[in-house]
Structure 1
């Protein structure tokens, strides 16, 4: 099962866990409520035959997918790409990642603008809503193989913070405020 926690402000190696002292974990219900991030656990070896991945793809309208391997050996310009992935940004569309092998961290901002670190390992499928400030880093193993899913034409355009005037950001903030008031 996925683990998530609030992180410290240590500017050291971003590939480390960065727990607060004492650690402050976030369960799945609060992760969804505080950030809108959705999560499924799938079997990366049998996801096609199980049918759950196809069901999610169909329900959410994901019509395109590709595979990315993030490692010094597999990703051209690895160091530069990792810096780009880790720079706080939003997207106009959801960011959908299914971890097939390896691991890494997605950091997302909660409603109070605090960072929550989500440990993503093999079998974790995460959907980050459009407009959420986030970033990604591999962990100390320096290897992540992930399926990226898209609705329509694949686009990975980051809009770096500040991007508060973008429609997707405004919509995300309003939706999170409504969710927070309802709960």
Structure 2
């Protein structure tokens, strides 16, 4: 089950949880209200046959998917890739990840520009909205395997901060101001 909390601004290893005191967890409802990030819990043992993922894909229009494995053994230029994933950026499309195995962290900015860390493990599916500043890193296990979903052909271009003049950023800020509405 996913956990989310506000991060310290600790400059130490990005793969650590980053808190000196026990974190105050943020509920999934508050995570959505503060960021627009949506969460779904899927069964990694039955998702191919139980219809839950198929229904989500149909309702949201996801037509393309692939898998990515991030580990020292499986990812070319591992250290450079991790650095690029951890660079604060946004995308013009949603970023959808369904964790099949392993674990990691997605960090997202809230409306006051503070970092919220989202710890994901097998069975967690998160949808990061278009236009939100975010980043990804592995945790100290240094391994994650995930499905990625796209509407149409995959477009995975990161736009590093600052990218405030982009339409997707302006649209995101408008939704943040007016309040996010879940499709569920």
TM-score (structure 1 length as normaliser): 0.96
User: What SS does the corresponding residue of 1:105 show, helix, strand or coil?
Assistant: strand
Structure 2 residues without counterparts, runs of 5 or longer = none
User: What SS does the corresponding residue of 1:40 show, helix, strand or coil?
Assistant: strand
Q: Provide Cα deviations, 1:132-183, integer angstroms capped at 9, x if missing partner.
A: 0000000000000000000000111000000000000000000010018xxx
Structure 1 residues without counterparts, runs of 5 or longer = none
Q: Is the 8 A contact 1:85 1:136 kept in 2?
A: yes
Aligned-partner Cα distance in 2 for 1:89–1:20: 26
Aligned-partner Cα distance in 1 for 2:44–2:52: 11
Equivalence for 1:57: 57
Q: Provide Cα deviations, 1:61-118, integer angstroms capped at 9, x if missing partner.
A: 0000000000000000110000000000000000000000000000000011000000
In the TM superposition, what is the alpha-carbon distance from 1:19 to its structure 2 partner? 2.2
Equivalence for 1:10: 10
Q: How many residue pairs are counted as aligned between the two chains?
A: 180
Aligned-partner Cα distance in 2 for 1:91–1:124: 21
Q: Is the 8 A contact 2:10 2:19 kept in 1?
A: no
Aligned-partner Cα distance in 1 for 2:2–2:81: 25
Equivalence for 2:38: 38
CA RMSD of aligned residues (A): 0.9
Equivalence for 2:143: 143
Q: Provide Cα deviations, 1:25-56, integer angstroms capped at 9, x if missing partner.
A: 11100000000000001011210211110000
In the TM superposition, what is the alpha-carbon distance from 1:22 to its structure 2 partner? 4.6
User: What SS does the corresponding residue of 2:49 show, helix, strand or coil?
Assistant: helix
1:91-106 paired onto structure 2 within 5 Å: 91-106=91-106
Equivalence for 1:123: 123
Equivalence for 1:68: 68
In the TM superposition, what is the alpha-carbon distance from 1:24 to its structure 2 partner? 2.1
User: Any runs of at least 4 consecutive aligned residues in structure 1 with deviations exceeding 2 A, and if so which?
Assistant: 19-22
Q: Which has the higher helix share?
A: 1
TM-score (structure 2 length as normaliser): 0.96
